[in-house]
């Protein structure tokens, strides 16, 4: 049974940083991709970043254009935890952030509908 638990959300001023954690169980990163998504009030859920371990043993990462250069996703296989380091935060990054897991054979790396298991979410608020 796949389980995901997010932590690390909070409130920060614009330009600040936060690190989110997603502790997962019930799958391995070679068969499942772990993604971070966010949903702001009144908006659809959007993909932020995702990560998987390729057949070459290397981590493969994917980012939405809106966060490239500011957010970094990493995977600690020993701890079964995926992190999202968020730097240079902007007010428009305010949202509930969710981590999710989906099979690597599905091609939409940031498509929410391809992810089958979800955490409960953690709130991130960025004030100007």
For residue 91 the two structure tokens come to 């007010």
- In this predicted model, what pLDDT tens digit does every residue of 35-72 receive, in sequence order? 999 999 999 999 999 999 988 889 999 999 999 999 99
- Residue 81, CB half-sphere, CA atoms under 13 Å: how many? 13
Mean pLDDT within 28-37: 94
Question: Which among 105, 102, 107, 100 has a CA at the least distance from the CA of 84?
Answer: 100
- pLDDT (0 to 100) of residue 108: 85
Mean pLDDT within 86-96: 98
Mean pLDDT within 90-97: 98
Q: Give CA–CA dist 51/102, Å, rounded.
A: 11
- pLDDT (0 to 100) of residue 107: 77
Residue 106 predicted with pLDDT over 90: no
- pLDDT (0 to 100) of residue 55: 87
For residue 35 the two structure tokens come to 């993604």
- pLDDT (0 to 100) of residue 40: 97
For residue 29 the two structure tokens come to 């990163």
Residue 126 predicted with pLDDT over 90: yes
Mean pLDDT within 117-127: 97
| Percent of the chain predicted with pLDDT > 90 | 89
């Amino acid at each position: 049974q796949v389980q995901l638990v997010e932590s690390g959300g909070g409130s920060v001023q614009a330009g600040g940083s936060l690190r989110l954690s997603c502790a997962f169980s019930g799958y391995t990163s070679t068969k499942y991709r772990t993604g971070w998504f966010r949903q702001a009030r009144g908006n659809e859920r959007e993909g932020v970043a995702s990560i998987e371990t390729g057949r070459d043993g290397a981590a493969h990462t994917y980012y939405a254009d809106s966060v490239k250069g500011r957010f970094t996703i990493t995977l600690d296989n020993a701890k079964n935890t995926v992190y999202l380091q968020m730097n240079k935060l902007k007010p428009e990054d305010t949202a509930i952030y969710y981590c999710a897991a989906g099979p690597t054979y599905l091609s939409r790396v940031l498509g929410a509908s391809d992810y089958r298991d979800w955490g409960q979410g953690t709130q991130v608020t960025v004030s100007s």
